[in-house]
Each structure stands twice: as structure tokens, then as C-alpha cells.
């Protein structure tokens, strides 16, 4: 479980008041310590506090995202997923065939951040990047050809396609 107190301190530094509703949402994010949809987070919050509704959870998550405390990412599972931002950030390799998700370190993105900034003056922020493609297991299975080159994230394939 992540350090709740440290997270609350960071949030306060932005001048955000920690209400009891916000505190329980932050605590839930710490307990989960993984990607979760707003619905999942709401379900867990509701175990402690029935008066926190889904729209409050959404609003709070969006504010935390804007404060750069959590990330909001489409990992190809059909919903936005939230996670506390790491320092340094982590990213993911997501297989569009089998749906497997692997971690990717931040090193490569540091070089890309500098290159983009130098070329365009734009300062990119790579918080939590989903990289879609085909994993080595699926490629070895000889099923990579049909999807190679597809840039559009697809939903996780059915069970039948995985066998």
C-alpha cells in the first residue's frame, strides 16, 4: 500500500482542502495501488462511505488528474483507468491480441521528451503511456501478421482467439 500521508501532503501543497470524501477516495487509491476504473473505485469507497456517489468519485478523480497526482489512461479495456502517478513514471506495453500488459520504464521517454522539446518548443509530459502492439508470445504463435501495423487500440479479444 502506498503512503497515504505523503499523498495527502502533496495534494495539500496544491491548496486542495482534504474533505472526508476526498480522504476516503485517496485512501482507496492507495489501497488499490493499481489501475482501476471509476466504478471499481466507487465500489470500494462505498464499502466505507455510502454517501459518496459515483459522480463525486468522478469529479474527485478528474481533479486529482488535473493536479498531476493520478493518471487517467485508456489501456484498451473499454474504460478510463486511474492510477497514482509514479516518480519516475511507468508505462505499459499492451498486447492487442491477448490483452497482456507489461511495464515499461521511463528511460526512453526522457530522451524523447528532450528531442520533442528541442524540435518544437513543446514540453511533452509522458505520465503513463499505453503502447499498443503484439507481445512476443503472440508473435511466436504466428498470429502477429494480421495486426502488425495497426495503431488503433482494440478491445481485448475474446477467449476463443487466445487459444
Contact set with Zn ion (CB under 5 A):
83, 95, 97-98, 100, 135, 138
**Residue number, 11 or 83, with CB nearest to Zn ion:** 83
Which of helix, strand or coil describes residue 103? strand
Q: How far is the CB of 99 from Zn ion (least distance, A)?
A: 7
Q: How far is the CB of 19 from Zn ion (least distance, A)?
A: 27
**Residue number, 11 or 138, with CB nearest to Zn ion:** 138
Q: How far is the CB of 90 from Zn ion (least distance, A)?
A: 6
**Residue number, 36 or 52, with CB nearest to Zn ion:** 36
Helix axes 54-66, 38-48, angle to 10 degrees: 120
| Paired sense of beta strands 101-104 and 130-133, if any | unpaired
Q: How far is the CB of 144 from Zn ion (least distance, A)?
A: 9
Burial of 97 (0-12, 13-18, 19+ CB in 10 A): buried
Distance CA 35, CA 48 (A): 20
**Residue number, 55 or 150, with CB nearest to Zn ion:** 150
Closest CA to 94 of 129, 63, 48, 59: 129
Amino acid at each position: 500500500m502506498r503512503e497515504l500521508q505523503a499523498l495527502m501532503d502533496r495534494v495539500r501543497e496544491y491548496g486542495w482542502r482534504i474533505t472526508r470524501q476526498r480522504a476516503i477516495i485517496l485512501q482507496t487509491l492507495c489501497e488499490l495501488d493499481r489501475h482501476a476504473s471509476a466504478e471499481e473505485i466507487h465500489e470500494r469507497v462505498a464499502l466505507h462511505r455510502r454517501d459518496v456517489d459515483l459522480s463525486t468519485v468522478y469529479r474527485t478523480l478528474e481533479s486529482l488528474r488535473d493536479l498531476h497526482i493520478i493518471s487517467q489512461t485508456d489501456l484498451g479495456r473499454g474504460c478510463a483507468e486511474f492510477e497514482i502517478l509514479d516518480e519516475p513514471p511507468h508505462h505499459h506495453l499492451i498486447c492487442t491480441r491477448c490483452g497482456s500488459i507489461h511495464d515499461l520504464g521511463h528511460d526512453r521517454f526522457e530522451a524523447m521528451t528532450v528531442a520533442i522539446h528541442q524540435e518544437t518548443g513543446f514540453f511533452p509530459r509522458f505520465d503513463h503511456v499505453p503502447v499498443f502492439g503484439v507481445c512476443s508470445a503472440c508473435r511466436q504463435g504466428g498470429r502477429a501478421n494480421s495486426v502488425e501495423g495497426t495503431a488503433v487500440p482494440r478491445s481485448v479479444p475474446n477467449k476463443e482467439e487466445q487459444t
